[in-house]
Amino acid sequence: MLIGRGRFVDDLPASGAVHVAFVRSPFAHADISRVDAAAARLESGVVAVFTGLESKDDLPSLPTAAADHWPLRLPLTPHRVRYVGEPVAMVVAGTKQAALSAAEAVRVDYEPLDAVVDPWAALEDSAPLLHPDFGPTNKFGEIHKVIGDPDRAFAAADRVVRSTVVVQRVAASPIEPRAIIVEPDLHGGTLTIWLSCQAPHTLRTWLSQILGMNEARLRIVAPDVGGGFGSKLNLYCDEVAVMWAARKLGRTLRWTETRTENLTAGVHARDQIHHAELAVGSDGRILGLRSHFVGDLGAYLHFFTPVVADLTIDTLTGNYDIPAVDIHLEKVFTNTMSIEALRGSGRAEATFVLERLIDEAAKVLDIDPPEMRRRNLVTPEQMPYKTPFGMVYRSGDYPALLARVVEMADYGGFRERQDARRREGRYIGIGFATYNLLCGFSPSGHDWNPMKQFPGHETALIRVDPHGSVRLISGLSPHGQGSDTTLAQVVADRLQVPYDDIAVEHGDTALVPYGGGTHGSRGAVVGGHAALLAADRVAEKANSVAAAMLEASAEDIVHEDGGFFVRGDPGGARLSWQAVAFEAHFLKGGPRFEPGLEATAFYDPPDVSFAFGANAAVVEVDIDTGKVTILDFYSVDDAGVVLNPAIVRGQIHGGIAQGIGQALHEEIVHDEAGQITTANFATYRLPTALEVPEIHTDMISTPSETPLGVRGVGESGTLASPAAIVNAVNDALRPFGVVLNRTPLRPSDIWEAIHPE
């Protein structure tokens, strides 16, 4: 990438490929009365125009992986559109320009229907009904969990804090838009798909069913992928339309979305509104937590849509010892794009709600915010600790993490500095939040496993070449997480082979055994252990080859400093790794063992993983403009054993930057008609280098109960950062009696709160 030789899908040559453009609905809810592609088909360079109306009996339907029933979703919609951007027709043409031009010539007549965009409104009986064939209301389902005796806790509480907490809708926004090339081979009946994606095998299995193909004839290749963050792990209408059309035409098709398409027809994330309450004693102990919240699903169910908000429920108590919980989630369809997985999904929302309630309770009780947390954090002495939702925390020192971030932020002197600034008419604030990252799911033995056909294991194939170089083929699908480096480190250590002698490959389902891809902070904790397990097996085989060569038994072989010798005879015969590899291939000493030096491992983790940490943000609020400047950001993270500090820090920085975007800048905004008014990067604003401050990090490493001792880290930065920032803003504005419980906090929102009419 540094020298411009990256191979992202749009960079790849594809000889003979023709191009695709989509015709998309401009309405959030409408019936299609007519589609006229005649003029488009006549335009020069056009190969074909497909419409949902004409092809509805031929198009495959797109399921969700997270529920047993779902409303019909076709790649091209025939009769009714339910979100702005829904594909209605596609043009295939010799050039991109010709495809775009012909797409403009497709005439679609719509009869607009009332649209509903607000999820609470969508629950009402009077709301427009999105899927009359699926159910009588827009409500898809609900979950209501009551643990302990929350009613008694709330009745007995000295104080109850109530807040409506809003986490806005955002978009993953990888800088590389989605891109696909589909190449059918008519002779072999194979289909090769180059796709910017995060889990090639998972998608292959689903797509083979959707396309009605033998999975052995379907190959998916994720080349270089320019970020995913959970959004490139899906069965998209437009991508499947390209696959379907390529097979129909028998030609190679390629399509790259525009940024506007990514923000409107790519999946969205977060979007929860909580009516939440916290019951506390005057000693600061949390007695109970209640929340009634709505999870907006969007108009259709994409891959994870039904269960994203479930993670909010299961992680709502975070690192805190909260005995009584009442959590009620209603899931509802609205005329918007689907809500899907995004780095930290479900858990970031939970952390925000919880940490805002804790700060509000601290204020009401007049307890210092870090102290309020200290009094409620699960302590090492309480471990193993079972949360109300059945998660078991076995290790980690949450109070130590909090104490360290408090120290790093120089909290001791902060209140004086804050007072001094206030006397000058300036308003600085500090905010804290802790997080617990549930990740590396789902192991086969774990209770929470709602996804169908979704691998929880990881795979690694290690293949040693005759002269000792090592190929590691991983089922991960990294796109910047540095897994190539960390996996190679694991294998280099275990096999005692130089790091530079290891080549790492991934992403091509023709090459890689069945793996799970990269998402959910599983790289080191699941992928790393698969690599270790495969390396163990290779080491064992190498040992037995060495044993045969040294005429000893395998138990007497020592593998040390990259060489093999007989125990008790270190000065005697010593074999190099290269010599063992050579003999393993060419058996010059005769038939003493099965040839070859490679092993495949499939690793099913024994349990999910937890990582945890604490953040502190120091902000200044300009009360005349409402602008928030983050002066400093501190993060203390426990990711277990750290295989590569720079890579781990990079993941934390990136997650925090996304959290800053969530806290202050980003929002997918719909108007009442369901139009997205933030449909490009000029209006959907990612933080630049001027919005992200210097981030100060430290790590505490509590090894996990796994051989490598690692935990997840990919999503860590996104969980507590919005809460720390919003808590800091509230702290800064305390003299004004302002309470802000939503993200994003725009300057105008802050100003209005300080200066009510």
Partner 1 sequence: MRMTLRVNGEAYELDPAPSRLLVHLIREDLGLTGTHVGCDSSSCGACTVLLDGMAVKSCTVLAVQAAGRTVETVESIAALDALSPLQDAFSRHHALQCGYCTPGFVMAATAYLRDRDPAAGVPDRMEVRRSISGNLCRCTGYQHIVDAIVAAAADGT
Partner 2 sequence: MYPPDFDYEVAPTVEIAASLLSATPGAKVIAGGQSLIPLLRYRLARPSALVDIGRIADMRSIASRDGWVEIGALVTTAELSAAGPHVPALIRDASAVIADPQVRNLGTIGGNLAHADPQNDLPAVLVAGRGTVHVTGVGGSRGIPSDEFFTGPFGTNLNSTDIVTRIDLPSGVGAYEKFKRSAGDYGTGAVAVHLRLGIAGVIEQAGIAVSGIFGLATRALEAEDRLAGTYGELEDLAAAANAVASAGTAMDDERGSSRYKAALAVTLAHRALIRAIVRAREVAA
- Interface residue with partner 1 among 348, 657, 668, 753 (CB under 8 A) is 657
Out of 527, 687, 693, 717, the residue judged to bind partner 2 by CB under 8 A: 687
Encode 468-509 in three state secondary structure: CCEEEEECCCCCCCCHHHHHHHHHHHHHCCCHHHEEEECCEC
683: contact with partner 2 by CB under 8 A: yes
From residue 464 to residue 483, the character string flagging contacts with partner 1 as x (rule: CB under 8 A) and all else as - is ---------------xxxx-
- Which residue lies nearer to partner 1 by CB, 29 or 232? 232
Q: How far is CA 715 from CA 74, 216, 303, 721, 746, in A?
A: 32, 33, 19, 11, 24
Alpha carbons 713 and 526: distance in angstroms, whole number:
12
In angstroms, what is the minimal distance from the CB of 100 to partner 2?
6
Find which of partner 2, partner 1, none residue 751 binds, CB within 5 to 8 Å per kind: partner 2
Phi, psi of 269, deg, nearest 5: -155, 170
695 binds, among partner 1, partner 2, none (CB under 5 to 8 A by kind): partner 1
Give the SS3 label for residue 240.
Answer: helix
755 binds, among partner 2, partner 1, none (CB under 5 to 8 A by kind): partner 2
- Classify residue 649 as left (phi > 0), alpha (psi -120 to 50) or beta: alpha
Residue 405's alpha-carbon distances to 148, 423, 437, 632, in angstroms, are 32, 27, 17, 12
Q: Which of residues 708-727 bind partner 1 (CB under 8 A)?
A: 717
649 binds partner 1 (CB under 8 A): yes
Number of neighbours of residue 607 by Cβ within 10 angstroms: 17
CB-wise, 216 or 690, nearer to partner 2? 690
Q: How far apart are CA 230 and CA 341, in angstroms?
A: 5
Do residues 334 and 122 touch, judged by C-beta distance below 8 A? yes
Q: Is 751 in the site for partner 2 (CB under 8 A)?
A: yes
Q: Please count the CA atoms within 13 angstroms of the CA of 378 that sit on its side-chain side.
A: 25
Under rule CB under 8 A, residue 552 binds partner 2: no
Pairing of strands 139-147, 695-699: unpaired
500 is a site residue for partner 1 (CB under 8 A): no
Q: How far is CA 536 from CA 468, 492, 530, 692, 753, in A?
A: 16, 12, 10, 42, 60
The amino acid that residue 599 corresponds to is A
Closest CA to 713 of 409, 347, 438, 318: 438
- Burial label for 23, CB within 10 Å (0-12, 13-18, 19+), is buried
Please give the DSSP secondary-structure letter assigned to residue 128: P
Of 36, 484, 493, 691, the one binding partner 2 (CB under 8 A) is 691
Which strands form 609-621's sheet, in the order they lie side by side? Answer: 427-439, 609-621, 628-638, 695-699
679-698 residues in contact with partner 1 (CB under 8 A) are 680-682, 686, 688-690, 692, 694-695
* 653 touching partner 1, by CB under 8 A: yes
Cβ neighbors of 571 (< 8 A, separation 6 or more) are none
Residue 101 or 518 with smaller CB distance to partner 2: 101
- The SS3 assignment for 256 reads strand
Query: Interface mask (CB under 8 A) for partner 1, residues 255-294, using x and -?
Result: -x-xxx----------------------------------
User: 206 and 302 in contact (C-beta within 8 Å)?
Assistant: no
Q: Which of 33, 44, 61, 97 binds partner 2 (CB under 8 A)?
A: 97
Q: Which of residues 210-239 bind partner 1 (CB under 8 A)?
A: 224-227, 229
Residues with Cβ < 8 Å from 366, sequence gap 6 or more?
Answer: none
Site pattern 146..185 for partner 1 (x: CB under 8 A): ---------------------------xxxxx--------
747 contact, one of partner 2, partner 1, none, CB 5-8 Å limit per kind: partner 2
Write the interaction track for partner 1 spanning residues 297-336; mark x where CB under 8 A is met and - where it is not: ----------------------------------------
Taking the least distance from each CB to partner 1, the nearer of 52 and 654 is 654
Tell me which of partner 2, partner 1, none is bound by residue 216, counting a contact when its beta carbon lies within the kind-specific cut-off of 5 to 8 angstroms: none
Q: Which stretch binds partner 2 (CB under 8 A): 336-344, 352-360, 509-517, 685-693?
A: 685-693
Q: Of how many residues is the chain composed?
A: 757
Residues 3, 416, 682, 737: which binds partner 2 (CB under 8 A)? 682
Identify the residue among 100, 121, 213, 740 touching partner 2 (CB under 8 A). 100
Q: What would the x/- binding string for partner 2 be over residues 602 to 641, using CB under 8 A?
A: ----------------------xxxx--------------
Interface with partner 1 (CB under 8 A): 1-6, 8, 10-11, 13, 173-177, 224-227, 229, 256, 258-260, 479-482, 646-647, 649-650, 652-658, 680-682, 686, 688-690, 692, 694-695, 717
Interface with partner 2 (CB under 8 A): 96-97, 100, 258, 624-627, 664-665, 669, 677-678, 681-683, 685-691, 746-748, 751-752, 755, 757
